[in-house]
Amino acid sequence: MVEYGRGDVTVKILGIESTAEQRASYRNQLGLNQPPLQRHFTWLAWNDWWLERRLDFPLVSLRNRQTGEPEWWAEVNGQYQRWQMDGGELFVLTRQEDGSTVRTPAAEDIWFTAEDGTQQFWGVNINNAVVRWIRGGSEIQVRTTAGFRREGDSPVEFIPLSKGLLRGDPGESLRTGRPVAASLPGRIQKTGILALLAFIVVMPLALLFGIIAGVNEGRFLDRFISIAGLGLTSTPEFVTGMVLVLVFGIWLKWLPAVSVFFSDQSIVELLTSWNSAKILVLPVLTLTAIELGYVARMTRASMVEVMNSSYIRTAIIKGLPYHSVVLRHAVRNALIAPITVIMLHVNWLVGGIVIVEVVF
Q: Model confidence over 199-218: pLDDT tens digits? A: 888 888 988 999 999 888 88
User: Using one digit for the tens of pLDDT, what is the confidence trace for 239-270?
Assistant: 888 888 888 888 988 888 777 665 555 555 56
pLDDT reported for residue 7: 63
Residues of the chain with CATH 1.10.3720: 182-359
Report, as an integer, the average pLDDT of 33-39.
80
pLDDT reported for residue 82: 95
Report, as an integer, the average pLDDT of 276-283.
80
pLDDT reported for residue 5: 56
**What is the fold, at CATH topology level, of the domain defined by 182-359?**
MetI-like fold (1.10.3720)
CB 133 within 8 A of CB 156: yes
pLDDT reported for residue 270: 61
- Is pLDDT of 219 > 60? yes
- Is pLDDT of 167 > 70? yes
CB 151 within 8 A of CB 30: no
Report the C-alpha gap between 161 and 58 in whole angstroms: 13
- Is pLDDT of 59 > 90? yes
Share of the chain above pLDDT 70, in %: 88
- Is pLDDT of 156 > 70? yes
- Is pLDDT of 103 > 90? yes
Report, as an integer, the average pLDDT of 23-52.
82
The more confident residue out of 195 and 360 is: 195
Count Cβ neighbours within 10 Å for each residue of 40-54 and write b for 16 or more, e otherwise.
eebbeebbbeebeee
pLDDT reported for residue 339: 81
Q: Give the closest residue to 46 by CA, choosing from 164, 199, 200.
A: 164
Q: Which residues pair with 95 in a beta bridge?
A: 101
Rg (CA), the chain: 30
Give backbone dihedrals phi and psi of 194, rounded to 5 degrees, phi first.
Answer: -65, -45
Helical pair 336-344 and 180-215, crossing angle rounded to 10 deg: 160
Query: CB atoms < 10 A from the CB of 26, how many?
Result: 20
Mean per-residue pLDDT over the chain, rounded: 82
Residue 123 binned pLDDT confidence (cut-offs 50, 70, 90):
very high
